[in-house]
Chains A and B, each alone.
Chain A
Amino acid sequence: MDYINGFIYSPRRALGKLILIVLFPLFVTCSAVIIYNQQTQSQSSMLASEPTVLLRIPIKEKIWADIGAVVEPTVTFSVKTITGYEKNEFILDSGAVISSLSREWAEKIGIDLAYAKRVTFKGFGNTTSFAYQSTVTIMFGDQTITLPMVFTESTGTRSLIGRKGFFDNYTIAFNHRDKMIEITQ
């Protein structure tokens, strides 16, 4: 021990204070930097992770007399009927609130329309007609999902995949570079 101006010097105590003043702040700062880096990395890896593409369908084009070639957002999904799955072409229609099939499908699926909920919908020319609401099981890729569906009055009308149960659960992308419609989870 050394005596300096009446102060008793202790090397161990001096070392402890050195650790408190220098090493402890360094340790705290390094820990904070490491934690921050880890969090940033996990966030960026979450953002960068590629969503699973469930189905890729080639984009079709339809040539209209007046307009020319227009992209047809059509997909072929299998509809569960009483005799098994039957393929049907649907238009991906983000403007439609709910998916629709023509009434002739109700019998194939085994739905008695008299017991389905009757709703109205505005058709071509703003005419009001009845549609019958139920649920239908469809298969695309290796996914089997149950979609709310309305059975519309006019037979022969095109089937639609609307927002409810589909657009609100899946991401639909039009990949024009590869000319593909991609449906991702």
Chain B
Amino acid sequence: MQKILEKIDQLSYPTSVFLSVCLILLLLLPLLLLVVQQQTQLRSKAVSATPEITPIQTTSTLKTIPIEMPIITRLRPWIGKSGDTIIIEGKNFGSDPSGGTLTIGNTVIETKNIGAWDDTHIEAILPPNTPQGSTVTLKIDIYPLIESAPLVFYTQETTARIHKQGTRIYTNAFNGTLTIISWIRNAQGTITEQTTSLEVVTGTTTTLLTLPPTDTLESLIIKDSNGTILPYVADPVEFGF
């Protein structure tokens, strides 16, 4: 034993440190190999578990231009608030939003706010701060600008409400002299604009208009005596939106 110690003592300190490091590496080598093996297995499992994702082409590169003039037949519904979706029905819209320009009030609707665009219907999100009574305009390629009936905008703060019972549309909100402008579609699909004046007292039920049984209301604007368009809320269930 003393001979071994004498031999060890004869080694210089750098040599002793070098031998120590070598021994550490030698002893740690199997552990290092085990760790590397396990990490490789984990990685290979992760790779095999990753589903193969095939990119889906969401936009067409083909620009389709309608061969006939576009027509807006209906705006569904005519009432809404910022962030709500409206449907513009009609024909010859083409199938590509980049082929046309959709404007609501003063705002050109960006592609990201257009939910769908095909030849007969467009879904668009109502922009904020749109002036009351604004219309939807559509310009497709070479064709002239086409325009819808006006829209009524309301907010979470709007409390005035209109109701529908059968063919009668009534309210118990508002006060004073009102001008009622309605766009009504008859059974043949023709839209007529009607204007009437009414005296309304808050809390009293007042019939705004009565629709013929086969006709449908396309838009309804209520103006006060100063000509200001008044916002109102309509229940989607009552009106069938």
Contacts A114-B234, A128-B121 given: A28-B16 contact, CB under 8 Å? Answer: no
Please, how many angstroms separate the alpha-carbon atoms of A20 and B11 in the complex? 12
B108 contacts A by Cβ under 8 Å: no
CB <8 Å contact, A17 and B24: no
Q: Mark A127-152, 1 if CB is under 8 A from B, else 0.
A: 01010100000000000000000000
B233 contacts A by Cβ under 8 Å: yes
Please, how many angstroms separate the alpha-carbon atoms of A138 and B6 in the complex? 81
A7 contacts B by Cβ under 8 Å: yes
Identity of the chain A residue whose Cβ is nearest the Cβ of B27 in the assembled complex: A29
Q: Which of B81-89, B194-202, B214-222 contacts A (4 or more CB under 8 A)?
A: B81-89
Q: Mark B8-37, 1 if CB is under 8 A from A, else 0.
A: 111101001101110110111001000100
A24 contacts B by Cβ under 8 Å: yes
Q: Which of B6, B28, B84 contacts A9 (CB 8 A)?
A: B6
Most buried by B among A106, A114, A128: A114
Shortest beta-carbon distance from A19 to chain B in Å: 9
Shortest beta-carbon distance from A109 to chain B in Å: 14
Question: Chain B contact residues: over half helix, strand or loop, or mixed?
Answer: helix
CB <8 Å contact, A25 and B35: no
B241 contacts A by Cβ under 8 Å: yes
Contacts A114-B236, A118-B80, A128-B87 given: A32-B31 contact, CB under 8 Å? Answer: yes
Q: Mark A22-63, 1 if CB is under 8 A from B, else 0.
A: 101110110011001000000000000000000000000000
* Nearest 3 A/B pairs, CB to CB: A14-B9, A25-B23, A29-B27
Which B residues form the contact surface with A (CB < 8 A)?
2, 5-6, 8-11, 13, 16-17, 19-21, 23-24, 26-28, 31, 35, 80-81, 83-85, 87, 115-116, 121, 123, 156, 161, 233-237, 241
**Sample of 8 more A-B contacts, CB < 8 Å, known A14-B6, A18-B8, A114-B233:** A4-B6, A21-B20, A25-B26, A29-B31, A113-B235, A114-B161, A118-B241, A128-B87
